[in-house]
Amino acid sequence: MRLSRARGTTEAMSKATPKSFEVTCPCCQARLTVDPEVRAVIAHAPPPKTGPAASLDQAMAALRSAEVRREARFREAAEAEKSKDQVLARKFAAGLERAKDMPDRPLRPIDLD
């Protein structure tokens, strides 16, 4: 008698399960509707748009801030280029001083035999 009750419970549970269910993709947050009987995705809802392109105002603000960052980087590069010759001259002078302070290594005779 226990066995028949267990089967009745299992049959009732299988009838209670829905034909399809929804799953959210962990990567892109899209909603997928899956049919367990055919083991396939039967519907796909794309994820809601997020980020700078979600609205036109946000996209324009992102473009403006990118322009400001580009201008700042350009100014920094221009300033670095102006003082580049001074930096290279100082590096050369420091290297020359180190070379003067280092003793010359003795040359080994070359054996031509």
Measured CA to CA, the distance from residue 36 to residue 21 in angstroms comes to 8
C-alpha to C-alpha distance for 18 and 85, rounded to whole angstroms: 75
Q: What is the pLDDT of residue 4?
A: 44
Do 66 and 31 fall within a single domain?
no
The string of pLDDT tens digits covering residues 13-27 is 555 556 889 999 888
Residue range 37-50, pLDDT digits in tens: 887 888 888 888 77
For residue 7, is it within any domain? no
Host domain of residue 66: 56-99
- Render pLDDT for 54-96 as a digit per residue (tens, 0 to 9): 678 888 888 899 999 999 999 999 988 988 888 889 989 998 8
Number of domains the chain is built from: 2
